Amino acid sequence: MAQSELFRLKTEANATETGRSSELELLMDDLEKSNAKLASAEAELAKLREDHADIPKLPIVDISRLQCRIEELEFELSSCSQQKSSLLDQLESLKSLKSSNEKNLENCIQELQTTICQIKASLEVANIKLENQSDYEEIKRELSLLRSIEFPENVQPNESDNFIQDETSDRAPLEVLLLKKNKSLENQLAEANTSREKLQIELTQVQSYEVEANQRIKEQTELIKLLESDLYRLQTNLDESLKLNDSRNRLEGHHLAEVIGDQKPSQYNQSLLNIVQNQRDRFRTRAEELEQNEISLRQQLVSLQREVESVRADNVKLYEKIRFLHSYGSPVIQNRQNNLSNQYSSSSVTTSSSQSPCQNHESNDATIIKYSHVYEAQLNPFNQFSRYEKQRVYKKLQPYEKLMLHLGRFVSSDRRLPAHFQHSALETEANCHSRFEKHMQEVHNQGGGNL
């Protein structure tokens, strides 16, 4: 607005200045013209005077004419001088008016510049304030949403987008609602403090219970260690009884177990039983893991054995081909062809062929000797006959006999498997004995350890 006013004043001042300057130029032109006329009149008057001086004796008519002309020229000269003076006065007045207008315009420009600076400063302040309050609409929307959430009973249906309240509004202001909300929160805080105190009391009780439980756990760990030592002694006695395979030693082990059990307080019997069961479960899980590892290793061993057997068979075939190439064209083949009807003679031929120079050369290599023995064993008719007989007898077996045969081979394949089955049998026997003893104590109120 101030800039537009300043621009308007500048345009008006420029227009007036151009008008005054054009008017001044016109006056200057008129002054120059009048000066030119005055100069021409003076020149003409001087010429006339010279002519009058040069021609003194003219007719009276000419003299009167010249005088009239001189008077006219003097009148024109006086009028031109008056006009010149008036124009000069007007020029001075215009110059003074111009200077005064320039001063006024400068003052107006300075005032307008000061107002512009003030307006710019206020505009910058307003822009800064506007930037600081740029989230006004968002805060307004959030406050309206907060009011609609926190105080839904005081919000009208068409009030979600208009948060600014009028003075004539009948609803409670936000400050009053917040004070009420604060009071309710203070009440809830007091209730929470009381519940916290109760929980602290319960926490102290639980901590005391925890200390007692830790002490009990320490006692139980000591008892577990003692029990493990007793079980270890019992296991050693049982192992000795198993090695001796004497029922008397097993009875002594049972008596020792009863003596060890009688030395414990009666109140810890159930806890000791649970401990033993947990330890048994741990050992069982560990044994299962070891069995899984053993099975995986056994599978790897079987696969490796199969690979070794396949490589061995390939090596035997390769040895057979090498043997054939070495003996190609030799009289040994002719001897074999002549003696095919007699197996014993063929075996003797094989034995005699093994003493050829080629075989004597191969005897220096242990690997070749090993595969030569395998090759000769395959050619042995007695071994072939025994394999055929085994296959024939195996085919005649019943399915359960085949199952028992495989099971026996599986058990005898590892030296730890019989010990495992023996341990399982002893564990089953001990479990049956403990159940029988428990049954006698619960039902008949008497010990069944000696039965």
Q: What is the pLDDT of residue 239?
A: 65
Topology (CATH level 3) of domain 2-132: Helix Hairpins (1.10.287)
Tell me the C-alpha to C-alpha distance, in Å, between residue 56 and each of 61, 293, 431: 13, 166, 185
Return the pLDDT at 40.
78
Taking only the tens place, the pLDDT of each residue in 19-57 is 777 777 777 777 777 778 777 777 777 777 676 665 555
Closest CA to 2 of 116, 105, 121, 106: 116
Look at residue 268 and tell me whether its pLDDT is greater than 60. Answer: no
- Given a cut of 70, whether residue 449 has pLDDT beyond it is no
Q: So what's the pLDDT on residue 348? A: 40
- pLDDT at position 169 is 47
Q: How far apart are the first and last CA of the chain?
A: 121
Residue 387 has φ and ψ, to the nearest 5°, of -65, -45
Q: 103-107, 157-161, 243-247: which has the highest mean pLDDT?
A: 103-107
Number of C-beta neighbours around residue 371 at 10 A: 21
- In which band, very low, low, confident or very high, does the pLDDT at 242 lie, cut at 50, 70 and 90? low
Closest CA to 67 of 42, 49, 94: 49
Q: Between the ranges 84-98, 337-351, 354-368, where is the mean pLDDT highest?
A: 84-98
In this structure, the number of other CB atoms found within 10 A of the CB of residue 349 comes to 19
- Given a cut of 60, is residue 382 above it in pLDDT? yes
Instruction: pLDDT band for 233, please (50, 70, 90 cuts).
Output: confident
Strand (E) positions, 156-197? none
| Tens digits of residue pLDDT in 179-204 | 887 788 788 888 888 888 888 888 88
- The yes-or-no verdict on residue 222 having pLDDT over 50 is yes
Return the higher-pLDDT residue of 244 and 132. Answer: 132
Is residue 96 pLDDT above 70, yes or no?
yes
Share of the chain above pLDDT 90, in %: 1
Mean pLDDT (the chain) is 73
- Domain extent listing, the chain: 2-132, 327-381, 397-451
